[in-house]
Structure 1
Amino acid sequence: MSRLDLLWTIKFQNEKHEVETVSTISRLLLENILPKHVAEIIIKENMSQGLYHESYDNVVVMFASIPNFKEFYVQSDVNNDGLECLRLLNEIIAEFDKLLDKNKFSCVEKIKTIGHTYMAAAGLNPGVEHRMTRERYNQNIVALAEFAFAMIAVLEGINRDCFNDFKLRVGMCNGPLVA
């Protein structure tokens, strides 16, 4: 009987470990596609129904795209059916992401990337009062504009290293937002 108990205990521990692993993977996947604070709310409140949203009075949103990447992307045997082109795009995006680690860009949050377009915002303070002072609002605009200039500098460096001529097209909009 004790051998059977031991086997059941081992099986239980293995299944418990498997559940914890699946839970961790699920959390990481949610945090990968949603902002971390939204993922936490969905996990904690088990929001299987209903939509989560917050309203903000003053947010700055930026879209930055590499319009001539489409011309660069070619599927051929030389570049492993386009994988090398995608590897370079991934490297560019990773370099843009590294900029967010700088303290001066602490108010900037990457929202997502769609192909060769990078979306970021400043002024999102989840769970906090959504009205901000004019000074803080202006600081967010400046920080996001400086982030865009830093992205241009990064892309110019990559162009030098890879002998490319990628351009960065940036658009910014500010005002009220529901996210």
Structure 2
Amino acid sequence: MAKAASQIDMPVGVIVRKTPGVTRWARWNWRAVAVLPGAGPADWQELRREGEAVEYHAATLPLTLWADETEAYMVNLSDGQPSIYLVLRNELKGDTPLNAVLITASPFQGQDYADTGEEIVEKIPMTEGLIAWVRDFTLKHHQHEVFIKRRRDRKQTDLVEDGKGDARIRQTSDVFRAPRRVLQ
């Protein structure tokens, strides 16, 4: 569903697996394991249970591709395993302590969220259909930017010692010394 020529959206469901924690400080281990392209709405719907491990369809979020971000998508597609990045926030209520906030195909945006330390960023492998969808959009909108090396100005800026030292000192002998207090 295209909103404009520069962006395209697809609803993508996120599968999160809950397993028992391995330490006494973490009771449960939550991990995003898969995506469902074109999924319907969901709110932590249980999909499968194997012993204590439970898989949930945690949320369905819009995956938006932007024409300005095609360089990031190219980097993602050239990776050994192209991935979707899921941003999760801690919620301290109920049985679902995580809130799915955003999904993106841009590794740069995923890294930005990971740098804050406030959110959890999970890397989920893309399905073949999702890879093709992102690749087609990227090839259609990508414009290679030509590198232009900047050149220095020929102006010499080191000829005048402007602003060196303390302006209250009127002598040229030592511009770095502090002004003396005049005794009266």
Q: Which has the higher strand share?
A: 2
Query: Could you say which structure has the higher helix fraction?
Result: 1
TM-score band by shorter chain is under 0.3
- Return the index of the structure with the highest Cα Rg: 2
Structure number with the bigger relative contact order (C-alpha 8 A, sep ≥ 6) is 1
Give TM-score scaled by structure 2 length: 0.22
